[in-house]
Amino acid sequence: MEQEFDKYGILLNKDIKLHRKHFKEFAKLHGIKCIYRAPIPGKTFDTHGDLEANYQPGIVVNTIFHEHPDQKTMKKMGWVAELQEDQILIEVPYDLADIQVGALFIVPSGIDNAEGRVFRVISMQTIMVYPYAITCAIAPEYFDRDEPNLTKDFKQENFTMLIDNEEDD
């Protein structure tokens, strides 16, 4: 009698966790350490949201980067390779907590004593059978550098007030 896991292959059983562990070890040896910040449950994000208030504290995650993947690599990963979009793809462990579109990754800078760049996850994909990692497309996050006295201190009254004169109609 044929066993249940023989339909899909011998690796689709409780040993699947071994392959996920191998990916984590590979990422630890060859990957880049990034800081991962997941959104707080129940919070929504937009392009004008505060990055400190809406995200959980950062944790260090080893990631594998594919900065400029070619069509062959994109096809193997299951992405639409014909679009020729210039995306940055990273692979993260499958069991990364609260991974979702909108999560942040802070990538360390290659320049000494410089701040890391913040990237937002814009899409995610993984294979359906036997997933070991999640591939995320990331895009840079830009910051507004407004002075706090312009956005939080409204004691100044230097704005123009529009007066509606009914006689002008």
pLDDT tens, position by position, 109-165? 888 788 889 999 998 988 877 788 999 989 888 876 655 555 555 565 666 666 666
Residue 49 has pLDDT above 80, yes or no: no
List CB contacts of 78: < 8 A, sequence separation 6 or more: 125, 127, 135
Identify the burial level of 25 via C-beta atoms within 10 angstroms of its C-beta, where 0-12 means exposed, 13-18 middle and 19 or more buried: exposed
pLDDT of residue 47: 59
pLDDT of residue 1: 44
What is this structure's pTM?
0.70
Domains of the chain in sequence order: 4-168 (2.40.10.270)
Determine the Cα–Cα distance for residues 45 and 54; give it in Å rounded to an integer. 7
Mean pLDDT of 6-21: 72
β partners of residue 39: 55
Q: Where are the beta strands (DSSP E) in 38-160?
A: 59-66, 88-93, 104-107, 117-125, 133-140
Mean pLDDT of 81-108: 84
CA dihedral 36, 39, 40, 45 (to 10 degrees): 150
